[in-house]
Structure 1
């Protein structure tokens, strides 16, 4: 059985096609194909509150390609979710209609809280010591989702309009940063030894650049040092000298800043990077829905 997950983010659009292992207990999945297209819908949405005709056309073309790929791969079930950029775009629902009509993809614009729920649906914390405390930190182009677990139980979860594209476009607000600080202080102050769980493409890249061993945590100090190192290069040199992709070289700096700030406010000394994200959570949701049925 094959499932597919589509994540329409503020920076990039992703398709994950996964093979579901029905005979495993619990039912699990193996990643088959992952495709990422950097459409940057957030640049339009956060500045103009409207996604341009050109970008809508590119999104529809991308969704048509994804639909064809899902057909070829024999995908039996899929879920397509749009996040922060589409939430804020005044023409978001029009785009949903365009995508359905011209690409045959049913698209859901998810609220911030549902986005956070999907991200931690991968249940990575269950593979760790459940008696400890974990904070999921997912940094996207338009928003940051935080979910705090203690003793295997969700204590608090919230989405904040702070993201890499939003920062680059100077659309992040001081009051939102303050709101995030207050949330972290209030929810984590009674707990000690909190470990971060970082998700999203930027933290995956930061972890790779840190040269830490797979499965080992990255320290707060290592992340700060890495941020300082990357910031010392111009955008051009981050691409030409460090070999970062064009659409990663600019967002990686504000992403590192968000992770550092969250870890500082929550008193987190180490962060695990399991290389899971929105698309993994979507596949897990589809599996759980199928099991319930």
Structure 2
């Protein structure tokens, strides 16, 4: 039986961090391909702090981006990556010098960065194992929280019903850049699309909800309740930023954004009347890997 193994790379340039995922895809005959995460590297370059407050990426973060891309290129070479894609989301999308930065990084590192819209981001994430996780007899609101934006997608009985991206992100919230009007717009949209459905569950993705799920000690596949998430949110606020780093063992770039992330998930649960949130640990990087594979296979 014919066997093939290939390695692909996915670079996700977000508002809070830049990630490199290297995945191995194993194919045996006519069997379904198996995707295995080989390496995951995360660098906390908070581009959103520059962009959302000053409108552009500063020189210091440009240098850090160039260093990161050079490192990522070397890592992909060492791993023998056959193909890769690098996608930038909210921060570079809104930066006045976003395309200029992408051109400079291409010239100095050879890494070609594609700046994508929120709808494209949601479509890529939909290529992950999300559909395998969804019960076709149930209704879910998928919530992907990033530093610059949050993508909401409603799945009803196995089909996508609606999807929308809002500029409500953790880094924006830290900088008090999300007004009441935007919160109300998101609330109205969620209530409107979920009004005809009962028993909705949330599916959460993003580094913050993954961190919360890990801290819960729950077994993979089991949900977190609204009560648990609300209690954890309250508990987090009893610690200072420094205590969340020292006592809870959180990374410096996680200890501040985790609180506004909780707020977004809790609001989404409240507005959709969801009692549980599932955390399948999928994201843009996983979708990028799948999109590369599909393109290679001509699908």
Q: TM-score, normalised by structure 2?
A: 0.95
Q: Which of 75, 88, 98 does residue 81 from structure 2 map onto?
A: 75
- Alpha-carbon deviation of 1:197? 1.0
Which residues of 2 match residues 85-124 of structure 1 at below 5 A?
Answer: 85-124=91-130
- Equivalent residue for 1:58? 64
**Partners of 1:210 and 1:226 within 8 A in 2:** no
Distance 2:51 2:101 in 1: 12
SS in 1 for 2:76: helix
How many residues are matched?
A: 293
**Partners of 1:134 and 1:196 within 8 A in 2:** yes
Q: Does 1:198 align with 2:204?
A: yes
Distance 1:235 1:286 in 2: 39
- Equivalent residue for 2:3? none
Distance 1:81 1:142 in 2: 14
- Alpha-carbon deviation of 1:63? 0.5
Distance 2:134 2:63 in 1: 43
Q: Which of 237, 261, 269 does residue 263 from structure 1 map onto?
A: 269
Which residues of 2 match residues 1-293 of structure 1 at below 5 A?
Answer: 1-23=6-28, 25-292=31-298
Distance 1:126 1:48 in 2: 41
Distance 1:193 1:292 in 2: 38
**Partners of 1:132 and 1:151 within 8 A in 2:** yes
Distance 2:59 2:70 in 1: 16
**Partners of 1:119 and 1:138 within 8 A in 2:** no
- Alpha-carbon deviation of 1:128? 3.7
Q: TM-score, normalised by structure 1?
A: 0.97
Distance 1:156 1:291 in 2: 28
SS in 2 for 1:146: strand
Please say which of residues 9-18 and 65-74 is displaced more in the overlay.
Answer: 65-74
Distance 2:174 2:9 in 1: 31
Distance 1:173 1:90 in 2: 22
Q: Deviation per CA, 1:137-181, whole angstroms, max 9, x where unpaired?
A: 110111001111112111011111001110001111222211111
**Partners of 1:218 and 1:272 within 8 A in 2:** yes
Q: Deviation per CA, 1:17-61, whole angstroms, max 9, x where unpaired?
A: 000122273323100000000000000000111110111111011
Distance 1:277 1:180 in 2: 21
**Partners of 1:84 and 1:112 within 8 A in 2:** yes
Distance 2:31 2:271 in 1: 38
